[in-house]
Amino acid sequence: MARIGISPTRKAVTRYRPHRVTAVVVVYIPSLEGYYAQRLDILKLTLHSLRQNTSQPLDVLVFDNGSCAPVLDFLHTAKESGLVDYLMLSRRNIGKIGAFQMAFPAAPGEIIASADDDIFFYPGWLEASLQILETFPNTGMVSAVPVRHASDRARLSLEKWIARAPEGLRVARKRHIPDEWEADWARSTGRDPQAHLEATRHQTDLILQYRGVEAVGTASHFQFIAPKDAIVKALPQAWTGRLMGQMNEMEARLDSLGYLRLATPKRYVRHMGNVLNEDFRKEAAALGVSLQGQSEYRPRQRPHWLLRIPGSGRVLWPLYRYLFRVLHNVE
């Protein structure tokens, strides 16, 4: 006998309907040691700030890229509590672009709000992003923070649109992004803030005003919203297998398809990186997020004595990369 009875849900109909926006967060935290010591707390702050500081309804889809057991335990609890709506689990790390290739087509919403697992969201981020997406024609990517580092790539479509001088468009080139934001972004990505500011001190920002809405002519792939049909077309057609990279290529593909890349003129999100500074600890307390309590990293006043040995970096960095792959079982 192949079956006994009939499934009780055979004629049932769910009242659930996907929201217009699906937030997609890709997570990769293979351990809670070293570089990743504070990453679970940072992930908690990402998801809680996303939920608590978003006034419009949205679904949250998390794609886990082979994280360690404590992270998986948290994500399962987050799904049960409603912090996460959809949870996709990979047994191995298939890379960020690979996660996009699986998660973006699976997202039920017509707009994807993509974010790395170390982004803090402030109130108004979605409204401000949607206003630009819905005002500027053929927009394929809107970030809720302008970053000067990303302003010089994938902008051919934007320049062509400006050259057509659509009625009502006003264009200005000026220093709009505060040095404080740029330095904050540089620190969160492991760059030297002063070196970054010096390298970009002659750059100006492209400011656009169209139909009463202002935008900056840049976007960043660490956080953005995009029409699902546009961003899916911009993904690689073949499986690459690369664990990192391919993000700039995705933006270039989006640009080649004729889509604009823009950002809000105000800062509505921040990139946290792998260290919770005092600002974010205060934000966690305000949101009621319980942290594990790791102490804040404090940079040395001078390099470690090992790094003061001539040529030591040429030995230590390859050793670090090798041990990382061994400890995290990466091929």
Residues 31 and 127 in one domain: yes
**Section 21-26 average pLDDT:** 98
pLDDT at 49: 98
Q: Is the pLDDT of residue 213 over 80?
A: yes
Q: Is the pLDDT of residue 74 over 90?
A: yes
**Section 144-173 average pLDDT:** 90
pLDDT at 317: 73
Beta strands 59-64; 21-27: pairing state: parallel
Residues 99 and 243 in one domain: yes
CATH number of residue 254's parent domain: 3.90.550.10
Angle of CA points 81, 224, 328, to nearest 5° = 65
pLDDT digit string, tens, across residues 96-150: 999 999 999 999 999 999 999 999 999 999 999 999 999 999 999 999 999 987 7
Lowest mean pLDDT among 4-13, 91-100, 117-126, 297-306: 297-306
Residues 310 and 264 in one domain: no
Residues 182 and 139 in one domain: yes
Distances (CA, A) of 258 to 113, 157, 233, 254, 255: 20, 5, 12, 7, 5
Contact 235, 110 (CB under 8 A): no
Residues 90 and 189 in one domain: yes
In a domain, 231, yes or no: yes
**Section 202-230 average pLDDT:** 95
What are residue 120's DSSP bridge partners? 270
Residues 155 and 33 in one domain: yes
Positive or negative, the CA dihedral 125, 128, 131, 135 is: negative
Q: Which residues of 72-88 are buried (b: 16+ CB within 10 A; e: fewer)?
A: bebbeebeeeebbbbbb
Q: Is the pLDDT of residue 219 over 90?
A: yes
Total number of domains in the chain:
2
Choose one of 246, 271, 296: the last residue of a domain: 271
**Model confidence band, residue 7 (pLDDT cutoffs 50, 70, 90):** confident
Q: Is the pLDDT of residue 46 over 70?
A: yes
Instruction: Calculate the average pLDDT of the chain.
Output: 90
**Section 74-85 average pLDDT:** 97
Residue 253 CB neighbour total at 10 angstroms: 19
pLDDT at 281: 93
In a domain, 294, yes or no: no
Residue 94 CB neighbour total at 10 angstroms: 20
pLDDT digit string, tens, across residues 262-300: 999 999 999 999 989 899 999 999 999 988 855 555 556
**Section 62-67 average pLDDT:** 97
Whole-prediction pTM: 0.87
**Model confidence band, residue 330 (pLDDT cutoffs 50, 70, 90):** low
Which ranges constitute the DSSP H helices of the chain? 39-52, 69-81, 96-106, 125-135, 156-163, 179-188, 193-199, 228-234, 247-256, 278-287, 312-327
In total, the chain counts a number of residues equal to 331
**Model confidence band, residue 190 (pLDDT cutoffs 50, 70, 90):** confident
In a domain, 39, yes or no: yes
**Model confidence band, residue 1 (pLDDT cutoffs 50, 70, 90):** low
Sheet of 111-116, strands arranged across: 86-89, 59-64, 21-27, 111-116, 223-227, 139-143, 260-263, 213-216, 205-210, 170-174
pLDDT at 311: 79
**Section 188-217 average pLDDT:** 92
The CA radius of gyration of the chain, in Å to the nearest whole number, is 21
pLDDT at 329: 64
pLDDT at 33: 87
Lowest mean pLDDT among 162-176, 241-255, 299-313: 299-313
pLDDT at 88: 98
**Model confidence band, residue 8 (pLDDT cutoffs 50, 70, 90):** confident
Residues 248 and 323 in one domain: no
Residues 137 and 183 in one domain: yes
**Residues of the domain holding 329:** 305-331
**Model confidence band, residue 244 (pLDDT cutoffs 50, 70, 90):** confident
**Section 3-30 average pLDDT:** 87
Residues 131 and 58 in one domain: yes
Choose one of 271, 297, 318: the last residue of a domain: 271
pLDDT at 313: 76
What are residue 24's DSSP bridge partners? 61, 114
With CA atoms as reference, report the closest residue to 117 among 33, 223, 264, 235: 223
Residues 90 and 180 in one domain: yes
Contact 125, 266 (CB under 8 A): no
Residues 26 and 155 in one domain: yes
pLDDT at 16: 84
